[in-house]
Structure 1
């Protein structure tokens, strides 16, 4: 299943990469400089073990199986849940169930405090965790257990079911096969029905599924555990959740690792364009790799993708698939590669080559995986709750034309994606962090098809404004999450968790 623009004035006040940044190698990075001793005071808070733990039950086989990952010898996964207030911010009564998964190994110290992982609404954290463990993430377990937290309504957190099958499919296909020549109006009509159905389903919590409420769900976990502070690793939208947590609870953060982040106040149009730029960059990088490895698409891999998308746009997609379904399948395969990068890239190339010759089995599998992974009702509710300063329908119509020229493979699909949230109740920007007394470790990916690569600079400025020093670890590969998919990016994270100290320089990791 998995292995799956804000370039504004803020970036002007963000620091450039440090002078003489260390260039890492594929063999992995090592701690930079002499580490500070844990006895130094003042220092970051300790990562403490829970005083009151949850009721864990073994779920190793189930969780690894759901992520299509083979179990790892010596690694056990335990599942639990806890109740969080439905809307502590606005005072609505009721509660929601939050699902969590804990990973431990035989080397994990019994008295070690956990690292809390969230991927937000990008995909269930409980699905990303076993994938990370199957790559390099299990190295973290030598120091800390990892506890993944699913956002409310997603994965193990009481997954939502609020759209009917027709609306769900029409939204996935962006209503391409409806009559009429106004795709914005067609998709908008479907979205209106879906929005009404979902807000009715979650009432009175129709404003309780945004980043701020996801942050309060993590705070409920901290108070349940009765620990003074948490070590947080947020990836993608999960980085926004972690930032929102730091904004509301700056003194409750022991470590803050933000991987592939977006700033909290980014507008929907800017966030979408940043994503589309990332999709284009990822496609370009994949095409170059494809050529270098003699992949099944011959001398023009990008041309083959163009041909497939053009056919789908004209209603002749593989197996009748829409252009949105094909584009999402490609970007999801690039974002969440299965296996090593060459094999994963060649597998995508083989799927495209097969589809062009009439065999749609592999591509249909990728389409189904993309829909299952990224298009659930809970993700619709959460991502729309987070979408700020949305464009008008007329602005989307302008962007459909403009982005089709600027970003030929993904621009139109990206512009139409914004229609899905136009009818959702407007949200508010979470509080920015302030008086943050711990350093922040930032990670980014040069070719990220989920959030692009520009958020790191903006979030660095946010950290500085909050009084937090920062360092960056930049991976020059393709995927969503440097710590997840680059073994080179993980040692700086492990050292930061251990010491609370940042690397002395920024770090580059090669593709």
Structure 2
């Protein structure tokens, strides 16, 4: 039975870890520099140790409890390195820092460390925003090939309201949720964008009713306020913050609201800072298509079960799903599964490529049960009610069904797999109450590191230029660092990127602008 609107502040839906299958994680520390100009728009004095203060170590801590076993079980994660410790805690946070809605809620945070992780260094705060659960992303990194970053300092993930370990939201009726997951493919009586808009309208009504009077408290600005509450609980004046994807939007909002509290800022695979929903969706389409290409190349090199042309095989499966031949797997749920398996780092990358290829080949040959299981796991990670609320809260200028239909027709040629479905899905949030765009920092007294990947299936890479433009306009020093691999988050995939990030965290030194890390 659906609970009514008392549950406001957050949600515990397990959201997301993308899963691995791109060009593969890099453990090589070498960096190529393609240009050496500083990413600043105004003259600035060279940074020295006094200009970038050391990150402070927390003077107080929330009450941590060991949650290693339950987290690994919940996220179906491998055990990770010897001695890995995952600790969970809750921090009391106001529903609205401005006081327009009274009350508090338990903010879910999780810390990852190894036995030899120093205790006298500042932690790094991680947020992936609405893309996936921050705790899930941290678990994926801590148990995969990139866990070595934990030997340098602990990493603390903060789940966004309604996502991951935060208080759960269950606001969309199951039939509407299934219809949104399928983009109305099954049982559709009219034009797809219109049908999705109608399903989104029904979901909006049920969710705003369920969350009232807090239905407008789930945007990036409130997520930034939650991070500030963690800083206060630690008793430190500054924190190091890593924002990935939509989490970079949250991190920028934090830097705008609390500029003096930013000790270090890493924006990894950032979403565009000033873009509308259409640009964001096209960026994802471009990144997802590139990630499929990278997977296909790996599949070919491994002589996988999809044959000589894995890309063509995947496109054929998508066409089968579109015509209902893979029912109950729809075209969009097929793409959701594909997006999920093209993201998170895995130690057994080659085995994972073969495993995914075998699932897809079985579906092609008539056995859809393994694919159904893959879809279920992917939707649990990427398509929860909490993510619907957060994404709709953050979005700007959602297109009308008519415009979305035009985009679907245009994008189907440019992005054969993802274009039409991503365009159609844009109407799902059209009825959500409009919120002001997340704020952007006008000034900052620390430099900013911006990293990105070549083929990100969840965010794409169109946000880098937008974000660096905002930083330049504020006279904020920055440098960009690119990873040439495929997957969600350069930091979570590349040891080379992690090494540059750690240098920056330790002494505030940016790498040469335009540096490249290999796939």
Q: Helix, strand or coil for the counterpart of 1:335?
A: coil
- 1:89-144 per-position Cα deviation (integer Å, ceiling 9, x unaligned): 47122223210001122222223221101111111111111111123543333332
Residue 395 in 1 paired to residue 403 in 2?
yes
Within 5 Å, give how 1:402-481 maps onto structure 2.
Answer: 402-481=410-489
User: What is the aligned partner in structure 2 of residue 263 from structure 1?
Assistant: 272
User: What is the aligned partner in structure 1 of residue 378 from structure 2?
Assistant: 370
Within 5 Å, give how 1:237-316 maps onto structure 2.
Answer: 237-316=246-325
Cα distance in 2 for residues equivalent to 1:347 and 1:206: 41
Choose from 226, 236, 242 the match for 2:235. Answer: 226
- After TM superposition, give the deviation of residue 399 of structure 1 in Å: 1.2
Larger RCO, structures 1/2 (Cα 8 Å, 6+ apart): 2
Within 5 Å, give how 1:73-222 maps onto structure 2.
Answer: 73-89=82-98, 91-222=100-231
Cα distance in 1 for residues equivalent to 2:94 and 2:146: 31
- The answer on whether the counterparts of 1:175 and 1:187 sit within 8 Å (CA) in structure 2 is yes
- 1:191-227 per-position Cα deviation (integer Å, ceiling 9, x unaligned): 1111111111111111111111100110111112221
Cα distance in 2 for residues equivalent to 1:65 and 1:375: 20
- The answer on whether the counterparts of 2:125 and 2:155 sit within 8 Å (CA) in structure 1 is yes
List alignment gaps of at least 5 residues for structure 2. Answer: 1-15, 20-24, 37-46
Task: Flag the 1:343–1:506 CA change in 2: closer, same or farther, 3 A.
Answer: farther
Cα distance in 2 for residues equivalent to 1:349 and 1:414: 23
Q: Helix, strand or coil for the counterpart of 2:320?
A: helix
Cα distance in 2 for residues equivalent to 1:29 and 1:134: 23
Normalising by structure 1, what TM-score?
0.91
Q: Identify which range, 39-48 or 372-381, moves more after superposition.
A: 39-48
User: What is the aligned partner in structure 1 of residue 29 from structure 2?
Assistant: 28
- After TM superposition, give the deviation of residue 488 of structure 1 in Å: 2.2
Q: Helix, strand or coil for the counterpart of 1:400?
A: helix
Within 5 Å, give how 1:299-338 maps onto structure 2.
Answer: 299-317=308-326, 319-338=327-346
Cα distance in 2 for residues equivalent to 1:175 and 1:384: 18
Cα distance in 2 for residues equivalent to 1:449 and 1:179: 27
Normalising by structure 2, what TM-score?
0.89
User: What is the aligned partner in structure 2 of residue 21 from structure 1?
Assistant: none
Cα distance in 1 for residues equivalent to 2:306 and 2:149: 38
Cα distance in 1 for residues equivalent to 2:494 and 2:351: 15
List alignment gaps of at least 5 residues for structure 1. Answer: 5-23, 34-38
Cα distance in 2 for residues equivalent to 1:240 and 1:223: 21
User: What is the aligned partner in structure 2 of residue 343 from structure 1?
Assistant: 351
Cα distance in 2 for residues equivalent to 1:476 and 1:389: 32
Task: Flag the 1:89–1:392 CA change in 2: closer, same or farther, 3 A.
Answer: farther
Backbone CA RMSD of aligned residues = 2.1
Q: Helix, strand or coil for the counterpart of 1:231?
A: strand
User: What is the aligned partner in structure 2 of residue 15 from structure 1?
Assistant: none
- After TM superposition, give the deviation of residue 337 of structure 1 in Å: 5.0
Task: Flag the 1:391–1:281 CA change in 2: closer, same or farther, 3 A.
Answer: same
- After TM superposition, give the deviation of residue 65 of structure 1 in Å: 2.1
Cα distance in 2 for residues equivalent to 1:103 and 1:379: 24
Q: Helix, strand or coil for the counterpart of 1:176?
A: coil
- After TM superposition, give the deviation of residue 58 of structure 1 in Å: 1.0
Cα distance in 2 for residues equivalent to 1:220 and 1:422: 31
- The answer on whether the counterparts of 1:437 and 1:467 sit within 8 Å (CA) in structure 2 is no
